[in-house]
Amino acid sequence: MIILQFIDSQKTLALGKIVCLGRNYAEHAKEMHTEVPSFPVIFLKPPSAVISDGMTIVRPSISREMHHEVELVVAIGKRGKNIPASAALSHVCGYAVGLDMTLRDVQSEAKKKGLPWSVAKGFDTSAPVSAIVPSSRIPDPQALTISCKVNGAVRQRTSTGKMIFSVPAMIEYVSSIFTLEEGDLLFTGTPEGVGPVNAGDVISADLEGFTSITLHVAAA
């Protein structure tokens, strides 16, 4: 079992499932040459994909092109099914910053063939996540800034106010399909600026003013 830590406290959370949103920022959809979706694009990562601050992201040997995708991560604190958007934030216990590491070459091939993204998105080390900031400190999840640097250079930086599907809208939709349980994480999609990282690079992801993570990159 993987245990997630909260910042500034002894509180912990046992990790559950990981539900991710694709294409949740218009500018990222544009750079990927895809349409802005009329309903959320959903995929899953296995809990074994999660790593924490200071660890190493390892690109598997099946890929030559691994991209960073910085994302706001929502931690679920209360079980629910068919949660209305109006009640959604009462199911959230905190927020983190995460990286949805993606094997872009493997994903492009899967898209072409109409195959699932499990390999491209769910490989070991594909889900670095920071410690959790309690939701009491973040009243509005659409008023945050997330950013990502590679070797000190800013690659992605945006306001979460630019999301197509807000955190409450995402929880309403996701919980109509999957029962959400304490310890589940929702990756809320990445803004524009995604790009490759290679062995020897250092990536940092920041939920500005709250928490950050720094990871090394290696190749298998």
8 exposed, middle or buried (CB, 10 Å; 0-12, 13-18, 19+)?
exposed
In 3D space, the residue among 41, 35, 38, 39 whose CA is nearest the CA of residue 22 turns out to be 41
**Helices in 44-186 by DSSP H: which ranges?**
104-113, 118-122, 167-174
Residue number with CB closer to Mg ion (7 or 41): 41
Residue number with CB closer to Mg ion (30 or 78): 30
Question: For the chain, how many helices (H) and strands (E)?
Answer: 4, 18
Q: Residue 137 gets which letter from DSSP?
A: G
Residue number with CB closer to Mg ion (127 or 134): 127
160 is a contact residue toward Mg ion (CB under 5 A): no
Instruction: List strand residue ranges (DSSP E) for 2-141, in order.
Output: 3-5, 12-14, 18-22, 41-45, 50-51, 56-59, 66-68, 70-76, 92-99, 102-103, 127-128, 133-134
Q: What is the CA radius of gyration of the chain?
A: 16
Q: Tokens in use for 118?
A: 């499990």
**CB-closest chain residue to Mg ion:** 100
Residue number with CB closer to Mg ion (80 or 195): 195
Select from 130, 147, 160, 190 the one that contacts Mg ion (CB under 5 A): 190
In the complex, minimum distance from the CB of residue 58 to Mg ion, in angstroms, rounded to a whole number: 18
100 is a contact residue toward Mg ion (CB under 5 A): yes
Choose one: 89-97, 99-107, 192-200, 202-210; the region binding Mg ion (CB under 5 A): 99-107
Interaction pattern, residues 35-74, with Mg ion; x per rule: CB under 5 A:
----------------------------------x-----
Residue number with CB closer to Mg ion (71 or 172): 71
Residue number with CB closer to Mg ion (69 or 172): 69
172 is a contact residue toward Mg ion (CB under 5 A): no
Angstrom distance (rounded) from CA 183 to CA 200: 32
Output the CA torsion sign for 132, 135, 136, 142. positive
In the complex, minimum distance from the CB of residue 96 to Mg ion, in angstroms, rounded to a whole number: 14
Q: Which stretches of the chain bind Mg ion, using CB under 5 A?
A: 69, 100, 190
